[in-house]
Amino acid sequence: MTILHLPLLFSAVLLLTGCATTLPVDHDRKPSVALAAPESTELGRFFKSEIATHPGKSGVVLVPTGEWGFRSRAGLSNLAEKSIDVQYYIWETDTSGLVLAERLLRAADRGVRVRMLVDHVTTKETDFKFARMDYHPNIEIRLFNPYANRSFRTLEFLFGLERLNHRMHNKAYIVDNAIAVVGGRNIGDNYFGVDAAANFRDLDLTVVGPVVQDVSRSFDQYWNSDFAVPVSAIIEERLSPEEFDAKKKALYRWVDKLEDYPYPIDTTSDAILAKLEEFRDSFIWANAKALYDEPDKPETDEETVADYLIQLGKEKDHEVMIESAYVIPGPEGVERTRRNNERGIRQRLLTNSLATNNVAAAHAGYAKYRRALIKEGLELYELRPDANSVKKNWSLLAGRSTAVLHTKAFVVDGELVAVGSFNLDPRSIALNTEIVILVESDELAVQLLAYMDEGVQPENSYRVILETDVETGIERLVWITEIDGKEVRYYSDPEASTWHRFSSWFMGLLPIEEHL
């Protein structure tokens, strides 16, 4: 580089700095709100009598498998009459992501208003596909806290860390403001058990009744916030009506010709309603509410989801069961564990092992607290990469893939259930926005505990304990599991590749815990 190039480089850096620290403002964005009369739709009428029979209560059912995670979203999209509101951290453009996008387009063709809010952690190709969908007159897509320059994201992130480190982690699929799916799943093959490489053990709740309006109010707040920027303000691709129609029809033809996708896609309304009828009695009616962060969470003094859950933890009497993909408790979390143990409260946690964790930095942040948590009384389990309870729910397409934990669920004292997007890490506590459905129901707690208990069985996870080596007298971690009915012990992170070990070790050297 010659000295003549330095002014150009300096100008580029200044431009990136300016773009990174401020949100795009040169765009036309009209406010809108959720459907006012959900009872005017088929879905609203479907649960009308149950809602009337259980005044003030909401209907809740667990969605524990990837198959039903997909089928619930696709089926409800097929039933939509007035509106679909979707809010996600990740929407992949793999097979499942494209199929569900196609369902949204089909709904929009029927006159359904579709509002799609996605965090801007997407790739260029995903950006373009979102921009193309936005050409539909009944679809509007907004990106949360977007990057201004898609070609220099790393530089922009470095210069604009304070703004761009704030991400929207919420996950919600709301149809006709009458029914919603909320939980841990994003949109993509590995969330629905059809990926060839890795698939998630994950969990959603399908909810009806008053709590749906809570979720819709949350969506409206995000949708109308300054952080929600129309995709058309970010992506410059322009299509003629003819070009858009051609691309839409090409997607329709592609989905119509899918032969190896394992779940039904184009199910008729009558068939979906018949399936809902089967599940009608499965809904548990209880007091429920949606906890959600403000869109400007890092800048506000409002109570956060983390504040509420921490306070909830202080009020427990005898046990707390947790399943969380990412756990970085920090000194404060270790201290809370100690105090709970002194009070005689049983504490159990299932999280990812090094072999199953898909974020090396997150495992590095967790590993440094593992010994302390066990010493303070935590019953600790880590998922096995070959967990049978996860694999049995996958399609044949995913038979050889690795299991990864992605659930975020809590059961307190066998009567209070929390399921949503919240992990036990600094990102969920202070940086990312989150949503959690809180349900007061011992019946739902029993069902969720059965799901959790299955996860900690020896064929699915490792029990991690501290043990003193009789020869050296040194205290060490031990991972205990069963293979072919026989107990097996490991004295270092089981089934972890050399690359996994190196990545976790290296990340552990970096001073980045507050960003994990």
Tokens of 492: 């270092």
Distance CA 181, CA 325 (A): 19
In 3D space, the residue among 170, 178, 171 whose CA is nearest the CA of residue 212 turns out to be 178
Sequence letter at residue 87: Q
CA distance 32 to 511: 42
Torsion over CA of 481, 484, 488 and 492, rounded to 10 degrees? -70
Q: How many CB atoms lie within 10 A of CB 370?
A: 19
- What residues act catalytically? 169, 171, 176, 406, 408, 413
Task: Tally Cβ neighbours within 10 Å of residue 36.
Answer: 8
CA distances from 218 to 187, 228, 242, 419 (A): 19, 13, 36, 16
Q: How far is CA 43 from CA 39, 76, 82, 176, in A?
A: 7, 9, 10, 7
The DSSP 8-state label assigned to residue 100 in this structure reads H
**CA-based end-to-end distance of the chain:** 36
- Alpha-carbon span 99 to 78, nearest angstrom: 12
Residue where the block lists tokens 């990812």: 352
**458-463-465 Cα angle (round to 5):** 155
Q: How far apart are CA 109 and CA 510, in angstroms?
A: 50
Residue type at 217 in one-letter notation: R
CA–CA separation, 363 and 372 (whole Å)? 15
Q: What is the 3-state secondary structure (H, E, C) of 220-279?
A: HHHHCCCCEEEHHHCCCCCCCHHHHHHHHHHHHHHHHCCCCCCCCCCCCHHHHHHHHHHH
Ramachandran angles phi, psi of 464, nearest 5°: -105, 125
